[in-house]
Amino acid sequence: AQRVTQPEKLLSVFKGAPVELKCNYSYSGSPELFWYVQYSRQRLQLLLRHISRESIKGFTADLNKGETSFHLKKPFAQEEDSAMYYCALSGGSGGSNYKLTFGKGTLLTVNP
């Protein structure tokens, strides 16, 4: 069974401070990991995925298979980063592995 754990329901930081949203996963195969973001009154949208190894809006996330983690980081938080963040796992392409398993989400608040 696959599982995604986001240990922090709420995270509050000040503008300009570093931020790290934690995500740990459990999966027996080679997973694909994603971060989705939901800004206030907007639909969920993909922020980044581990296979792209990209930085989006200053956020990065590195897949650490040894620690089974995919933490989301940003060195200097901005007020517009305030949103709900979901970590998600897919078992990869093929068969029934298109489904995503989501964590419970972390609500990030960036204070001025």
Between 15 and 97, CB nearer to another protein: 97
| Interacting residues with another protein between 46 and 105 (CB under 8 A) | 46, 49, 86, 90, 92-94, 96, 98-105
- Write the DSSP assignment of 26-84 as a string of letters: E-SS--EEEEEEE-TTS--EEEEEGGGT--BTTBEE--BTTTTB--EEESS--GGG-EE
Q: Binders of another protein: how many residues, by CB under 8 A?
A: 23
Between 15 and 32, CB nearer to another protein: 32
Token pair recorded at residue 80: 């517009």
Distance in Å, CB of 92 to another protein, minimum: 8
- Tell me how far apart the alpha carbons of residues 31 and 61 are, in angstroms, rounded to a whole number: 14
- Tell me which residues touch another protein (CB under 8 A): 6, 9, 32, 34, 43-46, 49, 86, 90, 92-94, 96, 98-105
